[in-house]
Amino acid sequence: MPRRFSKDERDRFLGGRHVAVLVTLGPDGGPVPTPIWYLFRDGAFYFRTEVNAIKTKNIQRDPRVSICIQKERPPYKAVIAHGRAQLEKSPDWLAKAIPRHYLGLVGAMGYEQAARSAIESGPEIAIVVLPERFVTFDFTPETPVYGRLWLQLKRILPPWL
């Protein structure tokens, strides 16, 4: 059985450079997952999106959401949050903070100069989620030391090994 995160471990993990999967509810009530950059600050998730995005329309109709943030390589770790989303005017700091978090200072400057206009095509809005419940898991303790060493080594070895 996987180990659960403490609150501090959970918050530290959420401060990492992981891509979130934001799950909204579509018109038929079915889940609509969307990979998206996020920031976790002061106990809330912040996302940026377009005013006319499907996720925005879904939240306007039904604010219930789930968010999954996971470590992509084994041994796996993840945080799943459930809550209600609020749509707000995007704060000034968010447009610079998210690219800086994911790309670093130099990459964020490049994003601002070259990619932002191609990627962000409409007026933006912030999605803010105050989580009501978390589920966490960490499979690290179940992975023996030799397994963890192999997984580290596998990152630099040829794929056929």
Q: Tokens 């579509």 belong to which residue?
A: 26
Cα of first residue to Cα of last residue in the chain, in angstroms, is: 29
32 found inside a domain: yes
Give tens-digit pLDDT for 5-60. 999 999 999 999 999 999 999 999 999 999 999 999 999 999 999 999 999 999 99
Structurally, how many domains does the chain consist of? 1
Phi first, then psi: what are they for 43, rounded to 5°? 80, 10
The pLDDT > 90 percentage for the chain reads 65
Spacing of C-alpha 32 from chain mean position: 15
Check: CB of residue 36 under 8 Å from CB of residue 49: yes
* Mean pLDDT estimate for the chain: 89
pLDDT at 117: 61
Residue 116: inside a domain: yes
What letter would DSSP give residue 53? Answer: -
Residue 160: predicted pLDDT: 76
Residue 87 lies in a domain: yes
Domain that residue 41 falls in = 7-154
CATH number at residue 55: 2.30.110.10
**159: in domain:** no
Q: Is residue 160, in this structure, part of any structural domain at all?
A: no
Instruction: Compare 82 and 150 and report the one with higher pLDDT.
Output: 82
CA-nearest of 152, 6, 161, 157 to 75 is: 152
Q: What is the pTM of this model?
A: 0.85
- Nearest-angstrom CA–CA distance, 64 and 133: 12
